[in-house]
Amino acid sequence: MVRHPLTWILLAYTALGLGLLAAYQFQINPDGIAYLDIAEKYVRGDIWGAINAYWSPLISWLTAVLRLLGLPPQVAIKLVLLMSGGVALGGVWCLLGDCPMWMRAIATGGAIPLTVYYALHVITPDLLVATVLVWYAAWLVEGRLDVRASVWGGFLVALGYFAKAFALPFCLVHLCGWRVV
């Protein structure tokens, strides 16, 4: 029997997200059209056509992987956002690592409705970058300075940049200020 609260939280999140997916699968917005178009270019192998100075690539890369598995475009991008939300909830759990278990469970479980909303309501990389920034904050709070932890921090900053370009200068300025304090 599964007893870890995070497992139950992620199961509840998955059930709610997949339960609402059908209602939101055809929601589309101008940004969503652009991200889906870029993902389709990656699927077709048109790398030069997919590279874009305006749209951050991570959401399109992840969507392209699911498209290659045969999923319809709008379902693929919603599943990318739902998976990102699950990873974000795991990040919230880790960020609250010093809190009592009950507090971590309430805070992480309480984030489920908002996370499902941002995963399904509109197609945007905002949830992806929020996911990366939650893990970045958990990394900072952990406070380890060894090589492995530093590589992990660098990976998170790079991933944040690919999710949304503002994450790189944000993290660099924040990291400089964090180390001064």
Over residues 122-131, the mean pLDDT reads: 96
Query: What pLDDT sits at residue 179?
Result: 60
Mean pLDDT, residues 115-136? 96
What confidence score (pLDDT) does residue 171 get?
85
**Res 21 pLDDT > 90:** yes
Tokens 């178009």, residue located: 37
Contacts of range 108-113, beta carbons closer than 8 Å, 24 or more positions apart: 108/5, 108/6, 108/9, 109/5, 109/9, 109/12, 112/9, 112/12, 112/13, 112/16, 113/16
d(CA 24, CA 15): 15
- 15-29, 62-76, 136-150: least confident range: 136-150
